[in-house]
Amino acid sequence: MAKPYLSIVVPVYNEAGNLENLYSRLINVLDNYGKSYEIILVNDGSRDATETILNDLHNRRPNHIRIVHFNGNFGQHMAITAGFERARGEVIITLDADLQNPPEEIPNLVRAIEAGHDYVGSIRKNRQDTWFRRHASRLNNSIRARITGIVMTDQGCMLRAYKRHVVDAVIASKESSIYIPALAYSYASSPTEIEVDHSLREAGESKYNLYKLLRLNFDLMTGFSLVPLQIFTVFGIVVSLLSTLFVVYLFIRRIFIGPEAEGIFTLFAIVYFLFGVTLMGLGIVGEYIGRIYKDVRQRPFFIVRDTLDKHGN
């Protein structure tokens, strides 16, 4: 069969309550849009009824819906990578299964691609999240942009569109700790962003807790920049110079005033501060070493247990 123009890649993890609505809205949008398409749904080791529902969706539209089942939970970005490897379209769009990013926005993303861009990010307007999460996201976006040079106004929105050559470059990178929007942005020659609607989650719960969000940001910082190491190096040099001056001051004070016990708590405070800085530095170095360790092991990033694919690839 001829290759489709659009490939919609949807990572799915414990989204049984959203899949029927996702299916009906996606099919309605794409059928009415008039461009050839395929939908690749990647089951990231779901523990609810997701697998059964996905299999049923494939049976309803085998020419359009392709299913990939992982044998465990490997993470959202590994699921997207598996979808990228199987996508046949010229324009590839990623979409979360929770329907917080409406499928009805897909034509707007495609129009931006057809206007000459090879990467289209999205910005959630009227974002339906807590005050803390919205403001923490803004702060994180600002820090990330300064450290990595990657400008994404809303890094948490996975509704994005990519040209074929950008997706091919992402697949070829073979990185173990991967954040796809940032990596794709670094490969794009004409990136842009558009505003999209944002809705409340209709069923289920968010899969990103505080730890996973922190983990994601560590991957972003260490995967795209050496700035954390460089900042710590400069800070170490400054602390060393200040420590040298402090030692000289104590030596001179001992000569002219003599030995004394005053200031011992200040010294303890300085020692504890330097000890904390040392541990922080070890943690930063450990992040980079950990990335190297994961890559040199050359273990598979995910394992596909089963596929439902009429096209056989």
DSSP state of 311: T
Describe the strand order of the beta sheet including 91-94 as a list of residue ranges.
Answer: 191-196, 119-124, 160-163, 91-94, 6-12, 37-43, 65-70, 304-308
Give mean pLDDT, residues 56-81. Answer: 94
Which has the minimum average pLDDT: 132-141, 150-159, 227-236, 277-286? 132-141
Average pLDDT (68-77) is 92
Angle at 139 between CA 133 and CA 143, to 5 degrees: 140
Looking at per-residue confidence, does 211 or 77 come out higher? Answer: 77
What is the DSSP code string of 69-104?
A: EESS---HHHHHHHHHHH---SEEEE--TTSSS-GG
Tokens 């049976």 sit at which residue? Answer: 59
pLDDT of residue 143 exceeding 90, the answer is no
Among residues 114, 112, 98, which one has the least CA distance to residue 11? 98
Q: Is the pLDDT of residue 93 over 90?
A: yes
| Amino acid found at 263 | G
pLDDT score, position 296: 77
Using a pLDDT cut of 90, give the percent of the chain over it. Answer: 43
Backbone angles phi, psi at 246, to 5 degrees: -65, -40
Q: 3-state DSSP call for residue 105? A: helix
Q: What is the average pLDDT value for the chain, to the nearest integer?
A: 83
Q: Which residue has the higher pLDDT, 280 or 42?
A: 42
Token pair in block for residue 62: 């085998």
Q: Contact at 8 Å (CB) between 86 and 313?
A: yes
More confident residue, 233 or 33: 33
pLDDT per residue over 219-242, tens digit each? Answer: 666 666 677 777 777 777 777 777
pLDDT surpassing 60 at residue 206: no
- What is the average per-residue pLDDT within 193-216? 68
Closest CA to 196 of 132, 127, 138: 127
Average pLDDT over residues 70-94: 94
pLDDT of residue 310: 76
Q: Does residue 151 surpass a pLDDT of 80? A: no
pLDDT of residue 278: 80
pLDDT value at position 214?
64
* Residue scoring higher pLDDT (120 or 246): 120
Q: What is the mean pLDDT of residues 25-47?
A: 95
Q: How far is CA 73 from CA 33, 94, 209, 232, in A?
A: 33, 19, 15, 34
Segment 242-285, tens digit of pLDDT: 777 777 777 787 777 776 656 666 676 677 777 777 877 787 78
DSSP secondary structure code for residue 155 in this structure: T
Judge whether residue 136 has pLDDT over 70: no
Nearest to 309 by CA among 83, 95, 101: 83
Only one residue has tokens 């009415």, namely 32
Beta bridge partners of 42: 11, 68
- Evaluate whether 155 touches 144 at the Cβ level (below 8 Å): yes
Question: Which residue has better confidence, 68 or 283?
Answer: 68
